[in-house]
Amino acid sequence: MATLLATIDDLRGPTATLPVDASLAYPQPMTPAPEDSALMLRYCDGDVSAFETLYRRHNDSLYRYLLRLCSDPDAAQDVFQDAWGKIIKSRDRYRPTAKFSTFLFRVAHNCFIDYIRRNKRHTHQDVTEPDEQRHPGDQPEALVEKSLAKERLEVAIRSLPDEQRDVYLLHEEAGFTLDQIATITDSNRETAKSRLRYAVNKLKQALELASEPS
Amino acid sequence: MSNERDISNDSALTTAYRELATETTPASLDDAVLREAAGASKTSSYASIIGWTRPIAWAATIGLTLFITLQLADTPTPLLDTPAEEMTQSTQAEERTEPDHLNDAEHRANPPAAASREADSEAAVRQRASIPAPAATDASNQKAARSVADEFIPPDTQLLERADAMAELQAGSERALEPQTKIAIEAASDFDSTADAAMSAEVAEAESGADEIVVTGAKIANPADEVQAAVASSSRVSKAPASVPNCSAEQRNSAEDWMNCIEELESAGLHRAAQAERLLLMEAFPDFEVDESR
């Protein structure tokens, strides 16, 4: 059998010796996905399906950003709906001068600021230690460690100041650069960089503490 | 950018965050947002329709206004202040377009009737202008008609009538002279056979309308020549081509024949020629009693 296969390979020649996955190196001809700005402009012309496509691209990342930022699912949903509502209402004034995602997260950031102003009682939630909540004896050890690390990170993110958390989430969740973050948060690049550094250091420390053997 | 990489170069943190952030948007939230987007799009289409219809409505309004304005400008509208005067003027202008000779003839033939007709037309104009005529009785209407007729009666109607009669008479005499001239030419041709050639030339000149012909006594040789001389003298008197003799020399030899010729001329309607022949007859035969009543 092995000799037969070798004979067949010889007959096919050198091209046949390519691995099966090599075909993936060549991109298949396909219609490129329309850009966000084009979809938004189509929606401005009345194409609701274009808006749906645009929404499906960004809804989850925006929701997670707001969920981490607000630390409250209900507030996150309110801010989320408020942000999309503003984009829908102001579609006629939309000009594709910047990336749509930048525009979207800037609107969401402003909605979050408004939300904080409306709710003065918004404060940092009390951070409860995950060790006090869970009972690791009920789960396997690896899962316990993993879950513990996630919870510690969650707690660490919540414990960050709003500005640092905002910058970190914009960087980690949406993948914005420092310039884009500065644009979204209406600050300069150095401020955004400093906030990001502080946030990352704190989160690292939180992870290292979680990974250390008790 | 290198700083960014340095800052976020912790793959463990990134991996931990990716493992942590696995939430998705609730379906109810998706539905709410998409419903809102669809509703706004419908409103937007209505708003866009409104946006397009507004300038169209403006353009239609302006176009309609221009059309009505142009229509009003083309339509003559009487002024409210003096409608009767303007209508009277327009009617007079219409009447002026009628042939003038008809109006003149009518005035000449029956001036009061024409004046009354003008008065009637004025009344009709007042009726058309829907303005109540002044409370006028028949007497006042007649007075007005008379006054208008007086204005249009020419002061010298009799002179005009006389001039017309003269013109008719002139036209009739010209018509009557044409055959008379032919007869004279024939008589001259007959006369050539007996008279001198020079004399005939002079007679021809007389026929052509010469004012004065000098006839010498030496050239007259017979009674016929005398008659011709008399004709020439009569032409000098009347200065008209009707003085040409119409009867032949043979007829003029006897008074009876000459008289018969004159009667023929009378019966032919050549009264002037007959009268001239009669005068010649009376000169040539003074003893012959001419019946002038005929």
Q: What is the pLDDT of residues A81-102, one digit of tens each?
A: 999 999 998 888 888 888 888 9
The reply to whether residue B41 touches residue A43, judged by beta carbons under 8 angstroms, is: yes
Question: What residues have CB less than 8 Å from B184, skipping those under 6 apart?
Answer: B207, B241, B244, B245, B246
Region of poorest pLDDT, from A168-177, B71-80, B200-209, B284-293 = B200-209
A162 versus A28: the higher-pLDDT residue is A162
- Determine the pLDDT at residue A198: 92
ipTM for the whole complex:
0.71
Distance from CA of A130 to the nearest CA of B (A): 14
Q: Determine the average pLDDT of the residues in A157-181.
A: 90
Place of tokens 């042939």: B99
Chain A residues with beta carbon closer than 8 angstroms to that of B10: 200, 204
B244-280 pLDDT, tens digit per residue, is 557 888 888 888 888 888 888 888 888 888 888 888 8
Q: Give the model's confidence band at B63: pLDDT under 50 very low, under 70 low, under 90 confident, else very high.
A: very high
Question: What residues have CB less than 8 Å from A182, skipping those under 6 apart?
Answer: A188, A189, A191, A192
pLDDT at B59 over 90: yes
Tokens representing residue A85 in the block: 């509502």
Place of tokens 């300038």: B55
The reply to whether residue A204 touches residue B48, judged by beta carbons under 8 angstroms, is: no
The reply to whether residue B25 touches residue A149, judged by beta carbons under 8 angstroms, is: no
Q: Taking CB atoms and an 8 Å cut-off, how many pairs form between chains A and B?
A: 94
Averaged pLDDT of chain A: 77
B147-177 pLDDT, tens digit per residue, is 555 555 555 566 666 667 677 776 665 555 5
- Determine the pLDDT at residue B131: 47
- Determine the pLDDT at residue B132: 47
B27 versus A144: the higher-pLDDT residue is B27
Task: Give the CA radius of gyration of chain A.
Answer: 24
- Determine the pLDDT at residue A41: 87
The pLDDT > 90 percentage for chain A reads: 33
- Select, from the ranges A103-107, B176-180, B264-268, the one with the highest average predicted confidence (pLDDT): A103-107
Give yes or no for a contact between A83 and A62, defined as CB atoms under 8 angstroms apart: yes
Q: Give the model's confidence band at B76: pLDDT under 50 very low, under 70 low, under 90 confident, else very high.
A: confident
The reply to whether residue B24 touches residue A63, judged by beta carbons under 8 angstroms, is: yes
- Determine the pLDDT at residue A36: 85
- Determine the pLDDT at residue A170: 92
What are the phi and psi torsion angles at B219 (to 5°)? Answer: -80, -20
Averaged pLDDT of chain B: 64
The reply to whether residue A150 touches residue B20, judged by beta carbons under 8 angstroms, is: yes
Region of poorest pLDDT, from A71-75, B180-184, B209-213 = B209-213
- Select, from the ranges A115-119, A162-166, B126-130, B271-275, the one with the highest average predicted confidence (pLDDT): A162-166
B85-100 pLDDT, tens digit per residue, is 555 555 555 555 554 4
pLDDT at B57 over 80: yes
The reply to whether residue B40 touches residue A81, judged by beta carbons under 8 angstroms, is: no
The Cβ-side half-sphere exposure at B174, using a 13 Å CA radius, reads 6
Q: Give the model's confidence band at A65: pLDDT under 50 very low, under 70 low, under 90 confident, else very high.
A: very high
- Determine the pLDDT at residue B247: 83
pLDDT at B282 over 70: yes
Region of poorest pLDDT, from A20-24, A122-126, A173-177, A183-187 = A20-24
Q: Which of B9, B24, B41, B50 to mutate to test the interface with A (most CBs of A within 10 A)?
A: B41
Chain B residues with beta carbon closer than 8 angstroms to that of A84: 33, 36-37
The reply to whether residue A81 touches residue B32, judged by beta carbons under 8 angstroms, is: yes
Say if B43 is an interface residue toward chain A (CB within 8 Å). no
Residue of B14, B20, B34 with shortest CB distance to A55: B34
The reply to whether residue B21 touches residue A91, judged by beta carbons under 8 angstroms, is: no
Chain B residues with beta carbon closer than 8 angstroms to that of A64: 21, 23
Burial B87-112 (b: 16+ CB within 10 A, else e): bbeebeeeeeeeeeeeeeebbeeebb
- Determine the pLDDT at residue B120: 58
B89-132 pLDDT, tens digit per residue, is 555 555 555 544 444 544 555 555 545 555 555 555 555 544 44
- Determine the pLDDT at residue B64: 95
Say if B50 is an interface residue toward chain A (CB within 8 Å). no
pTM of the model: 0.44
CB atoms inside a 10 Å sphere around CB B76: 7
Q: Give the model's confidence band at B3: pLDDT under 50 very low, under 70 low, under 90 confident, else very high.
A: low
A36 versus B242: the higher-pLDDT residue is A36
CB atoms inside a 10 Å sphere around CB A159: 17
The reply to whether residue B33 touches residue A81, judged by beta carbons under 8 angstroms, is: yes
| A47 burial level (CB within 10 Å; 0-12, 13-18, 19+) | middle
pLDDT at A109 over 80: yes
pLDDT at A28 over 70: no
pLDDT at A135 over 50: no
Rounded Cα gap, residues B151 and B125, in angstroms: 20
Amino acid B282 reads M
- Determine the pLDDT at residue B47: 62
Q: Which of A107, A207, A209 to mutate to test the interface with B (most CBs of B within 10 A)?
A: A207
Distance from CA of B53 to the nearest CA of A (A): 17
Helices and strands in chain B, H and E counts: 13, 0
B13 versus A133: the higher-pLDDT residue is B13
pLDDT at A5 over 60: no
- Determine the pLDDT at residue B239: 42
CB atoms inside a 10 Å sphere around CB A180: 21
Tokens representing residue A208 in the block: 């290292």
